[in-house]
Amino acid sequence: MPSVAQGGLQNKGSHNSSGKFSNKDGTRKAEFFARRQRIAQQRKSLPIAAVEKRLVEEVQKNDTLIIVGETGSGKTTQIPQFLFNAGFCRDGKVVGITQPRRVAAVTVAKRVAEECGVELGQKVGYSIRFEDATSSSTRIKYMTDGLLLREALLDPSLSRYSVIIVDEAHERTVHTDVLLGLLKNVQLARMNSTKYGHNIEDKKVNSVTSLEKENGDTSFLKKCQGRKYSPLKIIIMSASLDARVFSEYFGGAKAVHVQGRQFPVDLFYTLHPETDYLDAALITTFQIHLKESPGDILVFLTGQEEIESAEKFINERLNQLPEGSQKLLTVPIFASLPSEQQMRVFAPAPAGFRKVILATNIAETSVTIPGIKYVIDPGFVKARSYDPVKGMESLIVVPTSKSQAMQRSGRAGREGPGKCFRLYPENEFEKLEDSTKPEIKRCNLSNVILQLKALGVDDILGFDFIEKPPRAAIIKSLEQLFLLGALTDDCRLSDPVGHQMARLPLDPFYSKALILASQFNCLEEMLITVAMLSTESIFYTPRDKGAEAKAAMKCFSSPEGDHLTLINVYRTSDELLEKRKMTFVKEKNDKVLRKWCKDNFINTRSLRHARDIHNQICGHVEQMGLHVTSCGDDMLQYRRCLAASFFLNAAVKQPEGTYRALGSGQVVQIHPTSVLFQKKAECIIFNEMVETSHKYVRNVTRIDYLWLTELAPQYYTSQK
Ligand code: CDP
Ligand code: MG
């Protein structure tokens, strides 16, 4: 199956020894030119192509512009090229486009590089956490919003950029919201510094004073003072029709609408609520496949695990399809999918196949996949939720909003009439929220606060957020950062810990764990831990092979807990690849790793992702001058370091067998996938809480209760 799946993309990676296969070369060339022509035609037919001139004029006239356009109209791929052609990249300046999602940044950059006929990483590139495909010649740069925030730490005026496009602003991720506030400041600071005409000079005086009043904090502006910058254009792009909130935030900025093309989509609902939406989605997939006319199917699921089990289920039943019927080709798309696999989703299904795209909400508006005629929408999405009183963040599966449901169904009608199957009764639709609550109102803010502090924004409560996060959440996060030693008594970034933590592109808890580990002499182990914890589940348990998977996991499991178990997996994979170093053929190594993973019920994609992350963070800690040493067999030392790092997530066993989380007071249970499930650890630390029928904690390690008062006296002496 994989070889068929990759068929559409293969010419890209394969190379020829020159001259030998001239016939093949000829065909390749013809294919290449045909594809270029097709792309040029596709570009011309996009709704946005007709308004290029007007859009460019609007950008020239307005410092801040809001562009609203239906998904698929060509905003993300075309507008940066329009700006490049209009001269916005003169003098080596860069047009930056931010995306809330890594996958969108990568896939769009690849597409635009191809449209421009350039090699990725040259004129067109992307940069996301742990992966950089840019060079000094990059002029159109796609990146995640989080990454641009990090760049601002090194270059507070974002001086390389002439234009910054905040794409997918309607998603209102926490990074987008913070970025908008930051860009507003940068734009003012750059205007303030320029001598580019009276208009701007005049504006500058008023704006800076008003900003001072609003924020009571001009430290950021001061950072940029005394230097000359060219003005910064800001473009906010959104798929939601309501541009008011952005326009008001940017002092009445102009909004323009780009017409999309939308064909009718028939909506179908179930008669009764579904008890198992994954099951229902799979049944619907096969029903469409057997009864409906050709056209690809897009299924919205909530995460990697669900997508992978759906993929497996469908592939295992392919041979049950009636003889002679069209075949099915499954293609997944989710956030942590390795970049080399992401583009598969855009390749047309080979002849005789119908494509089934298994996607997270990434395919709602971030990436537009051609060829879709049927959408299956179970009506759920995985979202962050935060309880500021308890200081606990968790990922939960919740119903989508009405606007998400409508975006999803819209995907079926881009190229012709389509059908959308909502797997819930019609009256349930009316009960959905109109739109999703901005993430900043429902997440832990420690990370964002740490970054804002590092940018010189000291007054977080006074920061000009587009929508203020709950005061309680800000205070709780400040408190957590203080307990982690990142902030001083007067709430400034501490030296060196706070500054070191802000430099690492990780959750503050993980950053702190790495810094502590260098003192506990177990940084080698902690680097592996953090890398493994930064991916979705390493182990997978097929629905029908629970016992085998459990037995396989036993080979790695440590009686001390999941963290050491993960280290065992990583090190075994290391040994395996080390042994193969001599052969050095990447494809062969990949194959060996894949087989080993399959035999051991380990998720290859997650493990590879973890290995990449590991390489990246090793680079960061080395740059910071931390010593990478191993604690060898002294696992006590490592567990003590875990306790010192994650003390806010400690829990003690209660008489009836459940655990009480010491930080939040919540009653939790150890997740059944943990190696400590049903073991009798008296005191544990954990990394994650998930809420399904119960509150479960995952990634758990046994610790000694007394370590908490010894290693985290700032928290536990007063709590005892
Ligand atoms: O941003 P917006 O939703 O307005 O559209 P876009 O992402 O710029 O997509 C414009 C067109 O490019 C769509 O027809 C996509 O299907 C196509 N596209 C593609 O074929 N491959 C990609 N990697 C990205 C976009
Ligand atoms: Mg877009």
Ligand 1 atom with the shortest distance to the CA of 367: 7
134-143, 412-421, 424-433, 592-601, range with the lowest pLDDT: 592-601
In b/e form, how buried is each residue of 13-37, taking b as 16+ CB within 10 angstroms? eeeeeeeeeeeeeeeeeeeeeeeee
CA of residue 160 to ligand 1 center, whole Å: 26
Q: What is the mean pLDDT of residues 664-677?
A: 91
CA of residue 112 to ligand 1 center, whole Å: 9
Ligand 1, atom 22, lies closest to the CA of 111
Condensed to tens digits (0 to 9), the pLDDT of residues 379-389 reads: 999 998 888 87
CA of residue 239 to ligand 2 center, whole Å: 8
198-202, 405-409, 543-547, range with the lowest pLDDT: 198-202
Ligand at minimal distance from the CA of 111 is 1
Ligand 1 atom with the shortest distance to the CA of 369: 16
**Which pair of structure tokens corresponds to residue 629?**
């040493």
Q: What is the mean pLDDT of residues 398-422?
A: 96
Kindly give the interhelix angle for 145-154 and 446-454, rounded to the nearest 10 degrees: 30
Distance CA 435, CA 242 (A): 11
User: What pLDDT is stored for residue 219 in this prediction?
Assistant: 54
CA of residue 242 to ligand 2 center, whole Å: 16
Residue 264 pLDDT exceeds 80: yes
Residue 12 pLDDT exceeds 80: no
Ligand 1 atom with the shortest distance to the CA of 48: 4
Q: Is 107's C-beta closer than 6 angstroms to any atom of ligand 1?
A: yes
CA of residue 556 to ligand 2 center, whole Å: 43
User: What pLDDT is stored for residue 18 in this prediction?
Assistant: 39
Residue 9, helix vs strand vs coil = helix
CA of residue 167 to ligand 1 center, whole Å: 13
Distance CA 105, CA 91 (A): 24
How would DSSP label each residue in 452-501?
A: HHHTT---TTTS--SSPPPHHHHHHHHHHHHHTT-B-TTSPBPTTHHHHH
Ligand 1, atom 15, lies closest to the CA of 368
Residue 427 pLDDT exceeds 80: yes
Our mutation pick for probing the ligand 1 site, out of 67, 102, 346, 368, counting the most ligand atoms within 8 A of Cβ, is 368
CA of residue 76 to ligand 1 center, whole Å: 7
Distance CA 681, CA 703 (A): 8
Q: Is 309's C-beta closer than 6 angstroms to any atom of ligand 1?
A: no
Q: What is the pTM of this model?
A: 0.85
ipTM of the complex: 0.99
Distance CA 11, CA 294 (A): 26
Ligand 1 atom with the shortest distance to the CA of 237: 1
Q: Is 108's C-beta closer than 6 angstroms to any atom of ligand 1?
A: yes
CA of residue 81 to ligand 2 center, whole Å: 14
Ligand 1 atom with the shortest distance to the CA of 258: 4
Condensed to tens digits (0 to 9), the pLDDT of residues 471-495 reads: 999 999 999 999 999 999 999 999 9
Ligand 1 atom with the shortest distance to the CA of 370: 16
Mean pLDDT (the chain, rounded): 88
Ligand 1, atom 7, lies closest to the CA of 76
- Of 658, 659, 662, 670, whose CA–CA distance to 707 is shortest? 662
Q: Is 410's C-beta closer than 6 angstroms to any atom of ligand 1?
A: no
Residues within 5 Å of ion ligand 2, judged at the Cβ atom: 75-76
Residue 361 has, within 13 A of its CA and on its CB side, a CA count of 21
**Which pair of structure tokens corresponds to residue 196?**
């580019």
Q: Is 77's C-beta closer than 6 angstroms to any atom of ligand 1?
A: yes
- Of 165, 20, 205, 176, whose CA–CA distance to 79 is shortest? 165
Q: Is 69's C-beta closer than 6 angstroms to any atom of ligand 1?
A: yes
Q: What is the mean pLDDT of residues 443-456?
A: 92
CA of residue 375 to ligand 2 center, whole Å: 19
CA of residue 237 to ligand 2 center, whole Å: 8
Distance CA 311, CA 331 (A): 8
Condensed to tens digits (0 to 9), the pLDDT of residues 292-341 reads: 999 999 999 999 889 988 999 999 888 888 888 889 999 999 987 877 78
Q: What separation in angstroms does the CA of 586 have from each of 570, 577, 589, 595? A: 18, 10, 5, 14
Q: Is 469's C-beta closer than 6 angstroms to any atom of ligand 1?
A: no
Ligand 1 atom with the shortest distance to the CA of 69: 4
**Which pair of structure tokens corresponds to residue 192?**
């303030």
Ligand 1, atom 24, lies closest to the CA of 108
Q: pLDDT category, 206, cuts 50, 70, 90?
A: very low
CA of residue 76 to ligand 2 center, whole Å: 4
Q: Is 370's C-beta closer than 6 angstroms to any atom of ligand 1?
A: yes
Ligand 1, atom 10, lies closest to the CA of 74
229-238, 507-516, 574-583, 706-715, range with the lowest pLDDT: 574-583
Q: Is 346's C-beta closer than 6 angstroms to any atom of ligand 1?
A: yes
Distance CA 48, CA 81 (A): 12
Distance CA 350, CA 356 (A): 12
CA of residue 223 to ligand 2 center, whole Å: 33
CA of residue 19 to ligand 1 center, whole Å: 36
Ligand at minimal distance from the CA of 113 is 1
With pLDDT > 90 as the criterion, what percentage of the chain qualifies? 67
Residue 655, helix vs strand vs coil = coil
Q: pLDDT category, 185, cuts 50, 70, 90?
A: very high
Q: What is the mean pLDDT of residues 31-44?
A: 88
Q: Is 142's C-beta closer than 6 angstroms to any atom of ligand 1?
A: no
